[in-house]
């Protein structure tokens, strides 16, 4: 498979957590630059300060029960939580096929599954449920360990994935995460008994992203806007997975 030419940027990890609004502004600036051909494919890696974010399909009854503020964002999907102990990756890359949203999401799922496997966690897809899951095992129900929420505009991606490494699960008790009421959430640490933090996942995630996402991404030189993709004007959104 083709290797992907991309700049990976570690924006901030514990104790330097990244404010969601600031990271969103950074995403938009990088996205504009990639669309314009002024910047190359970029992937941002970080841990957020604690925050709830709501995609466009979020319903009022799914919001925090205690009135905690929520940031409304322009990705697809519903409500989720970000915060310390969770690894977030935002690929801002030019897709070869600007309409290949399903293939892009499938590849992000594969990247997550491979990263989890390196730590002894068997993540899977569950029919009818977006995201990466651990199946019920007799002692626990199906439980979600990673989320995906994307946006593609002018052929360039935004938002991305979040993998629960060793974060506190209590914030999920205050919401109906991703609109799912009959399953739980979990972390790598909870499943393995090992205190695996987000930074430990980065080398595995980066290698998997370069290899698996490479065939989908347009390799271009900053300053030269790729033809064919820049003409796509309508945004597409992926479900929060």
Is the CB of residue 89 less than 8 Å from the CB of residue 43? yes
Residue at 185 is within a domain:
yes
Residue at 215 is within a domain:
yes
pLDDT exceeds 90 at position 160 = yes
Structural domain of residue 204, as residue ranges?
7-238
Instruction: Please give the mean pLDDT across all residues of the chain.
Output: 86
pLDDT tens across 81-107, in order? 999 999 999 999 999 999 999 999 999
pLDDT tens across 165-199, in order? 999 999 888 765 555 556 689 999 999 999 999 99
pLDDT exceeds 50 at position 227 = no
pLDDT for the residue numbered 86 = 98
Distance, CA of 228 to CA of 183 (rounded, Å): 42
Residue at 2 is within a domain:
no
Three-class DSSP category at 65 = coil
Q: What is the mean pLDDT of residues 213-222?
A: 88
Residue at 126 is within a domain:
yes
Residue at 183 is within a domain:
yes
The catalytic residue among 51, 152, 178, 196 is: 178
Residue-wise burial string across 72-85, b where 16 or more C-beta atoms lie within 10 A, e elsewhere: ebebbbbbbbbbbb
- CATH code of the domain containing 122: 3.30.930.10
178 among known catalytic residues: yes
As for how many domains the chain has, the answer is: 1
Q: What is the mean pLDDT of residues 139-153?
A: 90
- Residue with more model confidence, 210 or 59: 210
Residue 92 pairs in a beta bridge with 42
């Amino acid at each position: 498979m083709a290797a992907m030419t991309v700049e990976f940027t570690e924006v901030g990890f514990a104790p330097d957590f990244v404010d969601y609004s600031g990271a969103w502004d950074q995403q938009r600036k990088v996205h504009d630059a990639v669309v314009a051909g002024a910047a190359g494919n970029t992937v941002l890696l970080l841990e957020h300060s604690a925050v709830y974010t709501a995609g466009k399909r979020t319903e009022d009854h799914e919001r925090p029960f205690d009135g905690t503020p929520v940031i409304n964002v322009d990705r697809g999907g519903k409500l989720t939580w970000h915060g310390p102990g969770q690894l977030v990756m935002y690929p801002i890359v030019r897709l070869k096929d600007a309409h290949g949203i399903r293939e892009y999401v499938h590849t992000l799922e594969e990247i997550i599954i491979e990263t989890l496997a390196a730590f002894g966690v068997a993540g899977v897809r569950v029919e009818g449920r977006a995201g990466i899951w651990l199946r019920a095992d007799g002692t626990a129900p199906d439980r979600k360990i990673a989320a995906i929420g994307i946006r593609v505009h002018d052929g360039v991606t935004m938002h991305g994935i979040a993998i629960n490494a060793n974060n506190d699960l209590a914030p999920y008790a205050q919401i109906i995460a991703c609109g799912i009421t009959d399953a739980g959430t979990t972390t790598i640490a909870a499943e393995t008994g090992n205190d695996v933090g987000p930074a430990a996942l980065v080398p595995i995630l980066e290698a998997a992203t370069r290899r698996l996402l490479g065939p989908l991404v347009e390799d271009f030189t900053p300053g030269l806007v790729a033809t064919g993709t820049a003409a796509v004007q309508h945004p597409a959104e992926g479900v929060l997975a």
